């Protein structure tokens, strides 16, 4: 087990009436508030009106910036930063999923920063302060509601990059599973895949003797695997949805990192897919994880056997560990299919033509991964595996 | 799943050199510092000298109060409170195990309080502020290093009572598993039992559909069960000790409560044993848990079958769930024996003579438990079961 420091002070308010605290929580963070949201679906569901009413009840001045797209854009973040400076915004409230939260995080670190906010993503600068941020979550997926992560796209240059810093962690996160009942099945499937991806990136580590975090990862994965078909069959069944919402936060809040270093090559390759083709992040992960696993599993067969047996309930063949490992990977792929995800690049409408560009760009900060070092030719090999239907 | 609020801001510094940060972390909390510790074992191991040197290096003024006993005493807490007021203490550093930390917590809430600190334990008052507290942990057991709990004994009146409040949570906790290598096997066994007890109190809930926290509980228990014999066999093997230290904090930091209400009857009965006989808390739990489980298991057989199968790897008899449940309880008891714990009251040198007094006192705030309501006659029945060697 590696030495580590862990601190996660985000205040989680979870449950059927959790949003009723949004006014009092935002008052602690300061007025005026920038209310940040996406396409406006929160106006249809009534959540927008409820939030406005609760903010008004606390006497908070509110400015608005809607229109966040999936794979949130640098251009809107810059607009938000201008608005924050112009209006003297004291705090930000993100109402939405990972894209809205990440856009709000970027505005939060950009507003008090003298230079360009994109510097934080190109690693020219590190965020040291942020406007305080509150979240009302409507999509379990990114884990951004309690995480230090923020991913932003510069649409013009096909760049999708991440900033990770403790100051980006939200002050509070309101999670009412009922707010996710109206999500389309496709978004639910993408979200589940993203949650599992966050756990699996941490699970595949070269750090030996990390039994507790291994088991916590397995517990989180098994919970999501069990709840997924239930929630897709009955979207307004509270119980399985609640499991997924809470799992989505635990998957990415730092707990499952304790004592180990995760891999993150698959996420980084997916960021190239999303940057070039604007595909949904979860769908990209569903295609890439089986390919990455097939490419690397021989490097630590016992770990893939453990994954197959403990997570996917494969009946272990002691004489054939490779067969057990591969069966685990196949079951994961079949699970992704069962929740409506594509598992080949063809399913995303992506061919080979820009493989080289993506592979090159993926290396801008050096090789990817910790579990196995992934260089340009490895990215190409993984993308080629991701074309294969049968194996 | 129940609605919940969860926030745990304790900064965890974990690993082989974690204590090197003690000076800089305490400087954030303020000078002068009250250094609080126990019997002086930290002077033998060199930890005391190292901590003093690191505090001095940061220019912090330090006052000392040692002498905390297991089942920490109100009398010493009152002495600490006087010292804090007299010297204008700004922060407290607890170096030790749960008794030292709990004593420090009580001093922390008592110092700024106008009335008597014992009021917080008799539920006449609620703590709303505390001197900030840092911890260097030397014994994995209580989880007090990241918890809101504090248990104190009034030796004179044979009272052992708890105060639970968010302000009691330490600001930081330093955990170096190496600091626990020199612990006697008895203390290690008691600590492991206490850790498992904290998880089991939460596991046995009447709340339905709490799959994720169930699985996180099971993950924590299985980790400890696997690491226990390894750490007892090789006390200075870092890996299993690190698992136990980290599990000890997660067991009691609030995470495993999310979405559910725990039971806590067994802990409350054990507090009576400790108050009347000054027994080690973990040893008392090892005696009481098998008895409590035998008394209540029929009230939710499926949950005890789940416990047997998932935690104790019992081969499930689908035709005989009761047999499966009982086998799980027996394996737990056998496990306690294997780590050197007593599992009958006789093993603690306790007979029937004060059962009635303890059972009466256990009810001072009403019936115990959530999983099953435990009244006076139930406590007597459980204590009688705890006398039985064979069942």
Q: Is A134 on the interface with B (CB under 8 A)?
A: no
Helix (H, G, I), strand (E, B) or coil at B171: coil
The pLDDT value given to residue B307: 98
The pLDDT value given to residue B156: 84
The pLDDT value given to residue B196: 98
Instruction: Report ipTM (2 d.p.).
Output: 0.96
The pLDDT value given to residue A155: 79
Mean pLDDT of the A222-236 span = 98
CATH architecture of B11-179: 3-Layer(aba) Sandwich (3.40)
The pLDDT value given to residue B157: 86
* pLDDT per residue as tens digits for the range B161-192: 999 999 999 999 999 999 999 999 999 999 99
| Angstrom distance (rounded) from CA B302 to CA A157 | 57
| Angstrom distance (rounded) from CA B144 to CA A263 | 33
Q: Is A313 on the interface with B (CB under 8 A)?
A: no
Say how many C-beta atoms besides its own lie within 10 A of residue A167's C-beta: 17
Which chain A residues are within 8 Å of B249, Cβ to Cβ? none
Q: What residue in B sits closest to A254 (Cα-Cα)? A: B12
Digitized pLDDT (tens) for each residue of chain B, 391 residues in all? 999 999 999 999 999 999 999 999 999 999 999 999 999 899 999 999 999 999 999 999 999 999 999 999 999 999 999 999 999 999 999 999 999 999 999 999 999 999 999 999 999 999 999 999 999 999 999 999 999 999 999 978 889 999 999 999 999 999 999 999 999 999 999 999 999 999 999 999 999 999 999 999 999 999 999 999 999 999 999 999 999 999 999 999 999 999 999 999 999 999 999 999 999 999 999 999 999 999 999 999 999 999 999 999 999 999 999 999 999 999 999 999 999 999 999 999 999 999 999 999 999 999 999 999 999 999 999 999 999 998 8
In this model, does residue A158 exceed pLDDT 90? no
Q: How far is A2 from chain B (nearest CA, A)?
A: 7
Q: How far is B224 from chain A (nearest CA, A)?
A: 8
Decide the pairing of beta strands B149-154 and B159-164.
Answer: antiparallel
The pLDDT value given to residue A281: 95
Quick one: what percent of chain A has pLDDT higher than 70? 100
Q: Is A211 on the interface with B (CB under 8 A)?
A: yes
Spans of all domains in chain A: 11-179, 185-385
In this model, does residue A322 exceed pLDDT 90? yes
* pLDDT per residue as tens digits for the range A337-369: 999 999 999 999 999 999 999 999 999 999 999
The B residues from 231 to 260 touching A (CB cutoff 8 Å) are 238-239, 242-243, 246-247, 250, 255, 258-259
Which chain A residues are within 8 Å of B220, Cβ to Cβ? 212, 215-216
Q: How far is A286 from chain B (nearest CA, A)?
A: 23
Q: What residue in B sits closest to A209 (Cα-Cα)? A: B239
Which chain B residues are within 8 Å of A12, Cβ to Cβ? 4-7, 258
Q: Cβ A223–B242 below 8 Å, yes or no?
A: no
pLDDT averaged over every residue in chain B: 97
Are both A11-179 and A185-385 of the same fold?
Answer: no
Q: How far is B187 from chain A (nearest CA, A)?
A: 22
Q: Which of B11, B12, B216 has the CB atom closest to A216's CB atom? A: B216
Q: Cβ B16–A3 below 8 Å, yes or no?
A: yes
Please, are residues A30 and A279 in contact by the beta-carbon 8 Å criterion?
no
CATH code reported for the domain at B185-385? 1.20.1090.10
Q: Is B330 on the interface with A (CB under 8 A)?
A: no
Q: Is A216 on the interface with B (CB under 8 A)?
A: yes
Task: For residue A175, name the pLDDT band (cuts at 50, 70, 90).
Answer: very high
Q: Cβ B223–A209 below 8 Å, yes or no?
A: no
The pLDDT value given to residue A342: 98
Quick one: what percent of chain A has pLDDT higher than 90? 97
* pLDDT per residue as tens digits for the range A10-43: 999 999 999 999 999 999 999 999 999 999 899 9
Q: How far is A328 from chain B (nearest CA, A)?
A: 20
The pLDDT value given to residue A276: 95
* pLDDT per residue as tens digits for the range B283-325: 999 999 999 999 999 999 999 999 999 999 999 999 999 999 9
Mean pLDDT of the A316-324 span = 98
Q: Which of A5, A211, A259 has the CB atom closest to B11's CB atom? A: A5
The pLDDT value given to residue A271: 95
* pLDDT per residue as tens digits for the range B94-110: 999 999 999 999 999 99
Q: Which of B7, B17, B246 has the CB atom closest to A9's CB atom? A: B7
Quick one: what percent of chain B has pLDDT higher than 70? 100
Place of tokens 């196949």: A330
The pLDDT value given to residue B390: 84
Which pair of tokens denotes residue A86?
């112009």
Which chain A residues are within 8 Å of B261, Cβ to Cβ? none
In this model, does residue A391 exceed pLDDT 90? no
């Amino acid at each position: 087990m590696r030495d580590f420091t862990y601190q996660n002070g985000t205040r989680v308010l979870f449950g059927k009436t959790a949003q009723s605290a949004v006014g009092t929580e935002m008052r602690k963070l300061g007025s005026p508030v920038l209310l940040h949201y996406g396409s406006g679906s929160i106006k249809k569901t009534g959540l927008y009106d409820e939030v406005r009413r609760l903010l008004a009840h606390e006497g908070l001045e509110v400015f608005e910036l809607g229109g966040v797209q999936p794979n949130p854009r640098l251009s809107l973040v810059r607009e938000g930063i201008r608005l924050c400076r112009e209006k003297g915004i004291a705090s930000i409230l993100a109402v939405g999923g990972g894209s809205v939260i990440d856009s709000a995080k970027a505005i939060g670190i950009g507003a008090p920063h003298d230079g360009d906010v994109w510097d934080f993503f190109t690693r020219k600068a590190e965020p040291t302060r942020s406007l305080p941020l509150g979240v009302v979550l409507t999509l379990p997926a990114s884990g951004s509601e309690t995480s230090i992560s923020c991913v932003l796209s510069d649409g013009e240059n096909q760049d999708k990059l991440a900033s990770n810093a403790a100051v980006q962690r939200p002050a509070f996160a309101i999670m009412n599973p009922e707010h996710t009942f109206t999500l389309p099945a496709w978004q639910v499937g993408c979200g589940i895949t993203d949650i599992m991806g966050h756990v699996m990136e941490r699970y595949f580590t070269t750090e030996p003797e990390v039994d507790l975090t291994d088991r916590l990862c397995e517990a989180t994965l098994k919970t999501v695997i069990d709840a997924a078909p239930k929630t897709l069959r009955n979207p307004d069944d509270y119980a399985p949805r609640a499991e997924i919402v809470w799992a989505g936060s635990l998957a990415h809040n730092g707990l499952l990192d304790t004592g180990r270093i995760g891999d993150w090559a698959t996420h980084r390759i997916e960021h190239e897919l999303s940057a070039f083709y604007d595909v949904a992040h979860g769908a990209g992960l569903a295609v890439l994880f089986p390919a990455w696993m097939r490419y690397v599993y021989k490097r630590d067969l016992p770990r893939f056997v453990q994954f197959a047996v403990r997570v996917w309930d494969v009946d272990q063949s002691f004489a054939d560990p490779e067969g057990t490992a591969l069966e685990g990977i196949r079951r994961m792929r079949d699970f992704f299919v069962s929740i409506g995800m594509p598992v080949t690049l063809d399913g995303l409408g992506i061919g080979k033509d820009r493989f080289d560009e993506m592979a090159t760009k993926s290396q801008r900060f050096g090789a990817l991964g910790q579990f196995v070092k992934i260089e340009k030719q490895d990215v190409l090999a993984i993308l080629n595996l991701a074309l294969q239907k049968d194996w």
